[in-house]
Structure formats: structure tokens, C-alpha cells
Amino acid sequence: MLPNVRILIQNGALGSVAAFADGVAAFCTTGVAVTDKIQIADPRVVFSLEEAETIGITLAGNPTMYKVLKQFYKRAGTGAECYIMIVADTMEQTEMLDNTNANGVKKLLDFAGGRIRLLGTSFLPPGGYTLTTTAGIDADCYTAMTNANVLAKAYADAQMPLAIIIEGRAFTGNAANLTDISALTNDYVGIVIGDDVSGASSCVGLVIGAAAALPVQRKISRVKNGSLPISSAYVGTAKVDTYASIGLIHDKGFITIRKFPTLGGYYFSSDRLAAGASSDFSKLARRRVINKAAVIAYSTYVEEVDDEVLIKEDGTLDDGVVKYLEGKIENQINLLMTANKEISSVTAYINPAQNVLSANKTKVVLKIVPVGYNEAIDVELGFDNPAIS
């Protein structure tokens, strides 16, 4: 070998991690197979409505999937990564979201390999379908909600966390009959009531699209996001403009559509999930924040699995090990979340006195301070007489 100077480029010194796909979405809806294009339970990934059309997702052939994708790309924009799968119209949302159903949503999530962070489902019943209305909407929606939460928890435990939005179908128009899902514990799942057309469906695609286009901490109901890209809005068959119980639908824990007296257009009422105020994750934004933090924490610490850690003479963790492990996660959360104003701050704490030699594990306590929200603004308005003080 001739004498020479070699320059060896080193990689990995910055300690950064890959960008996180916070807004990757998915939809599972009823549909029909299209010869040589898409089949039942045939998961695909698309990046535009036009691309979906080339594989058989058309208004004429697969109207349910076409509708949710059209709504999704109106808000998320062309180029957004979206996983899709159609199922037979005999499969209701409850069955789609059953974690034991190998040909339901589970197949779509596994196909995506953990990339999906937002999932929506929609169901168009076949002819002759017998609608069972329970508590103001199709009874299937409530059982689907329970299944969805079980499924989401299972995938969170497998380090693939996501949030799920279910179509609130066949709203009867009577908000008083709705179950108060805000008192439940399904904090991975939300149900939307309302659409841009009159009828039994709801705008799952619009909700998921709005969330996918926003940073994780941002509520889909934030007024500064701008009005929704729709020209009309309905809850069931009633126009939102004249429907008197939008507030009650919201209070029952559902996501719906509203108007403001001084603003043009339509807005989401909230980003509610089916959980009570005692849950830290009763809002979609809070669920998305903690899901992102969980993914970062796993990605950061998986590199440390089975590594050696030094122990001091008294049997406790070496101070350098403690500082290293605390600093590693804080740096990553600060880089990927705090710097983007997705959270307010983060603190990691490792008790140096824990017995790693016996337990063969190190416990890390990671505390995140989220951002707050101006959900209500009270203005005390009155006259003032300067002469009376």
C-alpha cells in the first residue's frame, strides 16, 4: 500500500435521532375489491388522493374510503403519508378494531411497522343492514370505542402508540340521548359526530387530516388554525348553523363541528377523547404529546439495553452513569419537543440508591410539563366612572 493520508469520516457523534413521523395517518373503511388493483384486507400506503384513485379508490367504486381520503388530503395536503385498507361491508367498526381480528385494523397497523400515529375508521352498511340505535348513535360505535382502546393500549405496550378516531354514525339528532363518554376511561379514542354532508356519516377524514397537519401539542379546534375547508356542516341531518345542542354534544365528550358568531366558516368544537377530566389524556393533543415522548424515550434508551453500568463501593449507581442516562433523554426530548414548543419542559430523575445489582434494571422517572390551553377566556366587562374611585 502506497504511503498516504486517510481521512476517516466519523458518524454518530452528534447524538441525534431520526425525525419522528408524528402525523402519519391510516384509515380502515368498508369497500369492495377492484380487480388487478386493490383487494379486501389489502393494506397499502398512499401519498395523495390521486394515487389512491389509481389503485381503485374512486367515488364510484369505493365511496367511503374515497370520502375520508378526500377530506384528509384537504387538510393534511398532498404528500402526506397515509396507510389504507378496505374491508368487507359486513365488518362493522367493532370488528375492525378488535385486536384479535387478524384481518381488521391490526393487519393495517402491522403492515405499517409502527409508523401510524393517527387512525380513523368508517363504516358504510350494506343494503338490508338493520341499524341498532343506542344512546343517540349506532350502537356499534360504542362497542367499537371499547375495542379501539384495548387495541391502542396493546400497540402502545409494543412501543407503537397511536390515537384512534371513530366515526359516530347515524346520529339521531337528540344530543340528550348520547352516552356521556367524557366520563369513561378510553383515553386513546375519540368519536366524531358531524360532517360536511347531511346523513349518517361523520368527518373522520377531516379530523385525522387536521391533526396530521399540526404539531402534536396543537388542538384541532384552535381557532388560529383557520376554518375547516368545508362550505356546510351537519350533525346527522341537521345543519350546524341552526342546531341548538352543539354544546351538549361537546359536553358529552364527542368531537363535533361548531360556528362562532363573529367568524365565518366552521371549526371543530374540541379534540375530546372518551375519558374524564381525571385522565391526563382526555384531549387528542395531550395523547399525541405523550405518545411522541414515549417513542423518543424508547428510541433513546433501547441503545442502553444490556449495557454495563458502574457501581460505587456502597453498591449504588455511579454518579457519572446517573448523569449520563438523565442527560441523554432530557437532551433528546428538549431537541425534538421543547425546542419546537410542543412541551414546556422536561426533567429526568434516576434515584442513585436503587439496587441495580439485584434488580438488573434501572428506573428512570421522566416528567414532562405540557403546554396549557386557553379553552375559555373570561372577560369582565363593565362601565367605569373616573369620578368614583
For residue range 337-365, list pLDDT tens digits in order.
Answer: 999 999 999 999 999 988 888 888 889 99
Per residue in 49-76, pLDDT (tens digit) is 999 999 999 999 999 999 999 999 999 9
Give the pairing of strands 189-192 and 185-186. unpaired
Helix (H) / strand (E) element for 248: namely helix 246-251
CA 374 from centroid of its chain's CA atoms: 21
Helix (H) / strand (E) element for 63: namely helix 63-76
Residue 200 has pLDDT above 60, yes or no: yes
Which residue shows C-alpha cell 419546537? 340
301 near 362, Cβ under 8 Å? no
Query: For residues 85 and 109, what is the distance between their CA atoms, to the nearest angstrom?
Result: 10
pTM of the model: 0.92
Per residue in 203-220, pLDDT (tens digit) is 999 999 999 999 999 999
Per residue in 269-303, pLDDT (tens digit) is 999 999 998 899 999 999 999 999 999 999 999 99
- pLDDT band at residue 19, thresholds of 50, 70 and 90? low
Q: What is the mean pLDDT of residues 14-31?
A: 77
Q: What is the grid cell recorded at 69?
A: 381520503
**Which residues lie across from 366 on neighbouring strands?**
348
With 0-12 CB in 10 A as exposed, 13-18 as middle and 19+ as buried, what is 110?
middle
300-331 in b/e form (b: 16+ CB < 10 A) is bbeeeeeeeeeeeeeebbeeebbeebbebbbe
Query: For residues 247 and 243, what is the distance between their CA atoms, to the nearest angstrom?
Result: 10
In the chain, where are the structural domains located? 25-288, 309-389
Nearest alpha-carbon partner for 170 in 210, 142, 147, 150: 142
Per residue in 116-169, pLDDT (tens digit) is 999 999 999 998 888 898 899 999 999 999 999 999 999 999 999 999 999 999
pLDDT of residue 11: 42
Which residue shows C-alpha cell 384541532? 220
Query: What letter would DSSP give residue 215?
Result: -
Please tell me which residue, 305 or 145, carries the higher pLDDT value. Answer: 145
Upper half-sphere CA count for residue 110 (Cβ side, 13 Å): 13
List all residues 6 or more positions away from 275 whose beta carbon is below 8 Å from its beta carbon.
182, 184, 185, 186, 187, 253, 281, 282
Which residue shows C-alpha cell 405499517? 112
Please tell me which residue, 28 or 279, carries the higher pLDDT value. Answer: 28
